[in-house]
């Protein structure tokens, strides 16, 4: 058995003992036998009467929260409501498959159930609160950093497991027995609170829920071990399980530790009744941090170091901002309305009419069949993704051509292939010599784009201002057409041709900054890729002026360049 698997089993045991208290588990793994086995372990640990309930993907509110039961209502002739799945899962776990694709609305509903232990329903004539003390199992099948479980939910769950690296022969068959529940010890533990908070701080964990969950888990560990008091060991295990997977930075190395305690502000808050001295507190924190650090696998350490210098991914331009629409796009719920305002949602209309059938039959003459009135009409709401156009503004001047034009071309080709898969449009603006030209108006024609790119000539001055103006004009026209535009500027930032076409560094630089500010004022999403061999100030200043993400690319090849742009989107 590998350590990761042991840790995962331990988490399953602890979570099963108190599903609601620990919030639940994020399980990052592809669908497969290892994940199923882990779920079997979890199920085995659950006490009798508690269960794992799986959420069907694309569930509607009436089934999730509760609402009118259409079939029963029609046959009974009076409104019959049904409980939602969340309420049915009360006491046990609610399993969410493909959790990386949860919509914010669904995530908020789940989070509110976790926070309040209740489902408040105010739907279809039903007003009730039903208990839903659930824990969540989020099955995260995301690939790469972009696809993740919504932060708002992940933050509320104590355990974050990654089973992707575990092979089948490292696992062991189910031998689990139910874990006794019971309420943890009531002994106050001032040092444990301080240590866990301090450790979370060192590991760069901003949320306050993390130390709180760690504290709960530590108590649960003590209970599982049959001990009444909370010992150092329990706190360490909690740090390994709860804090380590959330670390966003490495704790400072040994040389920094000496000054760390003195750097911590003195405990003079009204509630800070900490009897321990500075020394014992510091050593406690160190051991907790060490425990957490030991649980961070070696691969993750490298990843963390990389993450530290990586800019957090912006959501800009990912798949186009969603807009409400009445006719096209994906269906997104229904609302009362007349069919002439949109498309009639038949089932929802029937649902609205169902409870009235007996009354309406009494009310007046009419043939057999369901009586539907204007107030019953429901129409479908749609959401449509806006089309994204990626505009490349490429510096093809002599200085850039010398340095990285070939690589930039390679990266753009890769992006073109991606854009083709997503059905995005691309456009190409190049600037060199005395002005800018649109080499390729927004298009989906991949072959044409590739041809235009291959024929991109290099050499001459850098009319940066003209290039930015041309890109901004194009972005604005895309916006007017109902799409959303992302401008990717590839330049070294060293302008030497002014707007007028006259050479001169000073005027050219001022013009470029002015053009950049105009881009910012127009609220165009931009990414600036510094193609200079050494990242330099002019490009950085330019990026700031236009509010762009700045990506310096010293010695990067085409693949790295492409993945950088992808992460920026």
Partner 1 sequence: MPINGLPRAAAPAPPSHPTEAHGIRMPRRPASLTVEVRRTAAREDPAVPPTFPFSAIVGQDEMRRALLIAAVDPSVGGVLVFGDRGTGKSTAIRGLAALLPPMAAVAGCPYACDPGEPAGLCPHCSGRSGARKAQAIPVPVVDLPLGATEDRVVGALDLERALTRGEKAFEPGLLARANRGFLYIDEVNLLDDHLVDLLLDVAASGVNTVEREGLSIRHPARFVLVGSGNPEEGELRPQLLDRFGLAVEVTTPTDLPTRIDVVRRRDAYERDPAGFCAAYAKADRSIRKTLAAARARLPALTVPDATLEAAARLCLALGTDGLRGELTLMRTARALAAYEGAETVSLDHLARIAPSALRHRLRRNPLDESGSTARVARAVEDVLAR
Give the nearer residue to partner 1 in terms of CB position, either 253 or 271: 271
**In the complex, least distance from residue 232 CB atom to partner 1, rounded to whole angstroms:** 18
**In the complex, least distance from residue 531 CB atom to partner 1, rounded to whole angstroms:** 25
What separation in angstroms does the CA of 317 have from each of 82, 107, 384, 409, 524? Answer: 40, 22, 14, 21, 10
Q: Considering only CA atoms, which of 52, 113, 125, 53 is closest in space to residue 82?
A: 125
For residues 220 and 134, the answer to whether their CB atoms sit within 8 Å is no
Give the nearer residue to partner 1 in terms of CB position, either 189 or 496: 189
**In the complex, least distance from residue 307 CB atom to partner 1, rounded to whole angstroms:** 19
Give the nearer residue to partner 1 in terms of CB position, either 349 or 397: 349
Q: What is the 3-state secondary structure (H, E, C) of 478-527?
A: HHHCCCEEEEEEEECCCCCECCCCCECHHHHHHHHHHHHHHHHHCCCEEE
Strands (E), 361-406: 378-385, 388-395
Pairing label, strands 126-131, 484-491: unpaired
**In the complex, least distance from residue 36 CB atom to partner 1, rounded to whole angstroms:** 31
**In the complex, least distance from residue 520 CB atom to partner 1, rounded to whole angstroms:** 5
164's tokens? 């992707």
Give the whole-angstrom CA distance, residue 3 versus residue 26.
Answer: 18
Question: What is the Cα gyration radius of the chain?
Answer: 29
20's tokens? 């609601």
Sequence length of the chain is 569
Give the whole-angstrom CA distance, residue 285 versus residue 265.
Answer: 14
243 secondary structure, DSSP code: I
Give the whole-angstrom CA distance, residue 369 versus residue 74.
Answer: 11
For residues 83 and 55, the answer to whether their CB atoms sit within 8 Å is no
The SS3 assignment for 30 reads coil
Give the nearer residue to partner 1 in terms of CB position, either 144 or 265: 265
Give the nearer residue to partner 1 in terms of CB position, either 192 or 224: 192
**In the complex, least distance from residue 303 CB atom to partner 1, rounded to whole angstroms:** 23
What separation in angstroms does the CA of 328 have from each of 322, 383, 386? Answer: 12, 7, 11
**In the complex, least distance from residue 68 CB atom to partner 1, rounded to whole angstroms:** 10
Give the nearer residue to partner 1 in terms of CB position, either 296 or 354: 354
Give the nearer residue to partner 1 in terms of CB position, either 175 or 273: 273
Pairing label, strands 425-432, 388-395: parallel
Give the nearer residue to partner 1 in terms of CB position, either 513 or 553: 513
**In the complex, least distance from residue 196 CB atom to partner 1, rounded to whole angstroms:** 7
Give the whole-angstrom CA distance, residue 119 versus residue 291.
Answer: 38
**In the complex, least distance from residue 291 CB atom to partner 1, rounded to whole angstroms:** 18
Give the nearer residue to partner 1 in terms of CB position, either 211 or 442: 211
Give the whole-angstrom CA distance, residue 220 versus residue 101.
Answer: 31
Q: Considering only CA atoms, which of 473, 460, 398, 388 is closest in space to residue 429?
A: 473
What separation in angstroms does the CA of 135 have from each of 73, 88, 264? Answer: 31, 12, 35
Give the nearer residue to partner 1 in terms of CB position, either 90 or 530: 90
Residue 334: enclosing H or E segment and its boundaries?
A: strand 330-336
Give the nearer residue to partner 1 in terms of CB position, either 258 or 455: 258
**In the complex, least distance from residue 397 CB atom to partner 1, rounded to whole angstroms:** 28
**In the complex, least distance from residue 457 CB atom to partner 1, rounded to whole angstroms:** 35
């Amino acid at each position: 058995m590998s350590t990761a698997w042991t840790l995962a089993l331990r988490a399953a045991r602890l979570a099963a003992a108190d599903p609601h208290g620990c919030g639940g588990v994020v399980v990052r793994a592809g669908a497969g036998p290892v994940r199923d086995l882990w779920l079997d372990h979890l199920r085995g640990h659950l006490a009798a009467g508690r269960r794992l309930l799986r959420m069907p993907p694309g569930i509607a509110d009436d089934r999730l929260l509760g609402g009118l039961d259409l079939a029963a209502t029609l046959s009974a002739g009076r409104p019959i409501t049904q409980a939602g799945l969340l309420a049915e899962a009360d006491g046990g776990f609610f399993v969410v498959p493909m959790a990386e694709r949860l919509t914010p609305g669904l995530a908020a509903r789940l989070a509110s159930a976790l926070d309040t232990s209740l489902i408040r329903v105010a739907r279809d004539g039903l007003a009730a609160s039903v208990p839903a003390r659930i824990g969540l199992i989020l099955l995260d099948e995301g690939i790469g950093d972009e696809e993740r479980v919504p932060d708002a939910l992940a933050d509320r769950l104590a355990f974050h497991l990654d089973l992707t690296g575990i092979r089948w022969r490292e696992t062991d068959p189910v031998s689990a027995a139910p874990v006794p529940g019971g309420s943890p010890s009531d002994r106050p533990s001032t040092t444990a609170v301080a240590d866990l908070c301090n450790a979370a701080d060192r590991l760069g964990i901003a949320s306050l829920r993390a130390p709180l969950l760690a504290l709960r888990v530590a108590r649960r560990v003590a209970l599982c071990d049959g001990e009444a008091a909370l010992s150092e060991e329990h706190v360490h295990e909690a740090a390994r399980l709860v804090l380590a997977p959330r670390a966003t930075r490495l704790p400072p190395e040994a040389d920094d530790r000496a000054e760390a305690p003195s750097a911590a502000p003195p405990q003079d808050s009204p509630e800070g009744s900490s009897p321990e001295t500075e020394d014992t507190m510091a050593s406690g924190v160190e051991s907790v941090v060490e425990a957490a650090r030991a649980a961070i696998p070696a691969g993750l350490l490298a990843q963390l170091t990389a993450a530290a210098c990586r800019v957090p991914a912006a959501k800009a331009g990912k798949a186009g901002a969603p807009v409400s629409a009445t006719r096209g796009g994906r269906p997104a719920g229904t609302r009362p309305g007349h069919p002439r305002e949109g498309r009639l949602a038949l089932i929802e209309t029937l649902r609205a009419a169902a409870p009235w059938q007996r009354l309406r039959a009494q009310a007046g003459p009419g043939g057999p069949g369901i009586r539907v009135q204007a107030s019953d009409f429901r129409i479908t709401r749609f959401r449509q993704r806006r089309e994204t156009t990626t505009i490349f503004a490429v510096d093809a001047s002599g200085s850039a051509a010398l340095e990285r034009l070939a690589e930039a071309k390679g990266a753009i080709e890769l992006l073109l292939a991606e854009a083709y898969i997503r059905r995005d449009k691309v456009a190409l603006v190049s600037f060199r010599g005395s002005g800018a030209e649109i080499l390729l108006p927004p298009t989906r024609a991949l072959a044409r784009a590739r041809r235009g790119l291959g024929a991109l000539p290099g050499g001459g001055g850098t009319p940066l201002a003209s290039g930015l103006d041309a890109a901004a004009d194009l972005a604005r026209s895309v916006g007017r057409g109902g799409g959303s535009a992302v401008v990717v500027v590839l330049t070294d930032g060293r302008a030497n041709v002014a707007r007028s076409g006259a050479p001169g560094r000073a005027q050219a630089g001022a013009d470029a900054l002015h053009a950049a500010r105009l881009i910012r004022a127009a609220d165009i999403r931009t990414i600036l890729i510094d193609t200079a061999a050494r990242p330099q100030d002019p490009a950085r200043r330019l990026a700031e002026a236009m509010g762009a993400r700045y990506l310096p690319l010293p010695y990067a090849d085409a693949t790295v360049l492409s993945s950088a742009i992808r992460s920026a989107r």
